[in-house]
Structure 1
């Protein structure tokens, strides 16, 4: 039995005329009659009554017509889904990232509901402002972004919220402690990106210091995390804050990383995408984001 035989049967059943059915199917009438006869032989039942000038359905034909329509509907769904998957597989998913995602990027990829779908990812490391503009312009499909919760034309999915950790010289007396109080760092210069370079991080850290009762003394200009860590490790007085995901970048035994007591300093990570994102991808990314949130929350609970 072939699906085309079911298709021919339904066309004749709906037209009740072999000639009109053939026109509808864009094939010759003999082919339609031949395949319907073959179907009847294979089913061992007559589907049409051809005893008069009019073609009518037999009781068996009327009973099988709804199931035949369901078969063709299922075929249409099958083909449509295959086409969607093919389109998704052929197109790369373009994502903007920062340089300090670390294992969290792995967590995101692991959380994808359908890792075997063949979706190919392309990542671009860009500054936060450029990431958002590229998503808005459609040149990126999504972007990881910290601290920005809304922007025109964009939708934000919450991913995780990690507490920042303190990096300071391992020779400093404070490094002997397992955890630090933020106020203990009041006497050390803070090495941090300027507000013009990273307003979210700068404002969050300065606000936390003021809440702890002191105004941070800003150190030399921040030229990048690796350079700053190298200078601190070489003996320059100062401290900085790092995302836990960037801890793997610290290879120097001269740097100590310490968590903070009390209320953590956190900056939420989001996945930004266009408001008019394709529904299938939006559904996939929403499910993935929820799974990442649960995983990170569980990890943070275990650390407390």
Structure 2
């Protein structure tokens, strides 16, 4: 089986037309037809029902198409990584979730530029789960995320755990109470903001990080509101529409409208992970990692050294 046969088949399957697939691949229709016929002969099954318009896949064709999608995606990843290995990028592209930007990321970037003054740095706001594909495609070289994930291509380092604080409207009855317990918050509307594919109801509500934290203590808020990002969540808190939990580094945001109170629970934390490719590291990565550790040490922050 040849790669060009597989690519020809996928082009026809997607476009449902030999003429459209020919324009897409810059191959002639006879060439496409010949390649797919060769593929069918090798497999020993008809993959395309040529008697329907638009073209349709046979049951065998549907099966082969679905199972070979991952193969082509893996090949694209390997090709992109090989190109980066042969031509290492001069720019360090850093992906981040917004909650990290409001923390120590600016300090880390500032120190890194002093240590590597010729290094160009680009920052990209990207969710934790989008970072995996962005690393493999080359859109970013490293990423700061908040969720543990599994991918054979990606190395994930747990940098540290950051304590959650409770964000309350200034007029809230608990706004002056320190060391709150999660059961004390159960009568409030909890505003959820994590950008995560785990927010799908098909996977279960308890997989959302904040709800999962409440559930560990045997309570759930009486109601929830899900918003697109952290800033919207804090805007709703400021408007008195509910409460939320945020990492400690964000407690300076909207401080005139919001009171941030500590949680008694020591395990009420949000992890910070550094994501990078497992086998191909950016030339600046070792210095970048040491810069992170240096900033943590300067700030007196407990962290895990790889």
Q: Normalising TM by the smaller chain, what interval? A: 0.5 to 0.7
Rounded Cα–Cα distance in structure 2 between residues aligned with 1:179 and 1:243: 15
Q: Who is 1:249 aligned against?
A: 253
User: Which one has a larger percent helix, Structure 1 or Structure 2?
Assistant: 1
Q: Who is 1:210 aligned against?
A: 215
RMSD: 3.1
Q: Cα deviations across residues 158-180 of structure 1 (Å, max 9, x unaligned)?
A: 33321111111111111111231
Mapping for residues 189-200 of structure 1, pairs under 5 Å: 189-193=189-193, 197=197, 199=199
Q: Who is 2:275 aligned against?
A: 272
Larger radius of gyration: 1
Residues 210/277 of structure 1: CA separation in 2 closer, same or farther (3 Å cut): same
Residues 107/196 of structure 1: CA separation in 2 closer, same or farther (3 Å cut): closer
Rounded Cα–Cα distance in structure 1 between residues aligned with 2:216 and 2:166: 17
Deviation at 1:239, TM superposition (A): 1.0
* 8 A Cα contact 1:204 1:265, kept in partner: no
Q: Who is 1:220 aligned against?
A: 225
Unaligned runs of 5+ in 2: 1-86, 200-204
* 8 A Cα contact 1:161 1:268, kept in partner: yes
Residues 93/279 of structure 1: CA separation in 2 closer, same or farther (3 Å cut): closer
Residues 98/211 of structure 1: CA separation in 2 closer, same or farther (3 Å cut): closer
* 8 A Cα contact 1:205 1:265, kept in partner: no
Q: Who is 1:6 aligned against?
A: none
Q: Cα deviations across residues 126-158 of structure 1 (Å, max 9, x unaligned)?
A: 222222211112221111111225422011233
Rounded Cα–Cα distance in structure 2 between residues aligned with 1:288 and 1:195: 27
Q: Cα deviations across residues 63-94 of structure 1 (Å, max 9, x unaligned)?
A: xxxxxxxxxxxxxxxxxxxxxxxx98x82111
1:234 counterpart = 2:239: yes
Q: Who is 1:99 aligned against?
A: 98
Rounded Cα–Cα distance in structure 2 between residues aligned with 1:201 and 1:226: 23
SS at match of 1:291: helix
Rounded Cα–Cα distance in structure 2 between residues aligned with 1:201 and 1:102: 27
Deviation at 1:186, TM superposition (A): 0.9
Using structure 1 for the length normalisation, give the TM-score: 0.60
SS at match of 2:175: helix
SS at match of 1:229: helix
Q: Which of 276, 280, 288 matches 1:285?
A: 288
Rounded Cα–Cα distance in structure 2 between residues aligned with 1:196 and 1:139: 19
Unaligned runs of 5+ in 1: 1-86
Deviation at 1:201, TM superposition (A): 10
Rounded Cα–Cα distance in structure 2 between residues aligned with 1:194 and 1:242: 10
Rounded Cα–Cα distance in structure 1 between residues aligned with 2:298 and 2:91: 26
Q: Cα deviations across residues 168-199 of structure 1 (Å, max 9, x unaligned)?
A: 11111111112311111011111113785565
Rounded Cα–Cα distance in structure 1 between residues aligned with 2:226 and 2:281: 43
Using structure 2 for the length normalisation, give the TM-score: 0.59
SS at match of 2:161: strand
Q: Who is 1:162 aligned against?
A: 162
* 8 A Cα contact 2:296 2:302, kept in partner: no
* 8 A Cα contact 1:167 1:239, kept in partner: yes
Rounded Cα–Cα distance in structure 2 between residues aligned with 1:215 and 1:281: 44
Structure 1: which 4+ aligned runs deviate by more than 4 Å?
194-202
SS at match of 1:227: helix
